Structure 1
Amino acid sequence: MILGTEYRIEIHKWSEDSELSKNSWVGYCCCDLPLIVIADLDDEEHFHFDNEEEKDVYFKSSLRHEIIHAFLNESGLKDNFEHVPRMGHEETMVDWIANQFPKIADVYEKLGIL
């Protein structure tokens, strides 16, 4: 549930999903369906990981990134960035939130303000 909207999370083969393959994406968020897609990281033709832990970390990071897009979409910020009309969100900001949120949540939890 993202701000009252239920999103499906699906794993798609990179080679069978035109959005992933034509854009060289690892994932995407489609608020119209609503759907979050992450590429099948077991596809060794497109992804290489030294071990399962590395793959798991990458999967979780990618999923956090797409969930941030979903939160922005559901907050009314779907197409709110003029400099990125195709994507709708500035990717640096999305990456920053996705990467730093676990650390922020940890601080909030330790302070009892979550």
Structure 2
Amino acid sequence: MGPESVITSIGRFINNLRFRKSDQTSEAISCVSKALHESEKYFLLLDQGSERTVEKEHEISDLWEHAAEPLRRVDREFSSWCRYKARYWLTRDRYTPEEIKQLNIGLDNMNKRMHELMDEN
């Protein structure tokens, strides 16, 4: 194998890594987007007078937990925020507004971070 073919092989390898990272980021963004959307829809229903349901809050918790894993591969800090958000949905009443802010798990903050990740890729 000559120098040119080695360089070509290395170039292909690097491109494959880039595409894999891009795919991982897209998957992570998709999962976070779904969790955000379901959270926002639920809060909208509550604002319109609907009753809280443990089942729905557990479902939203699962979405945040599900988002944390693919996100771990591209943004570990944001992934940990998603895991905190999943715990929040299991025990919502235990969190004060200050704790939510300190943990960076307010919906506005999560949405902002997701858009930053989108802009990076």
TM-score by length of 2: 0.27
| Larger Rg, first or second structure (1 or 2) | 2
More helix by share: 2
TM-score by length of 1: 0.28
More strand by share: 1
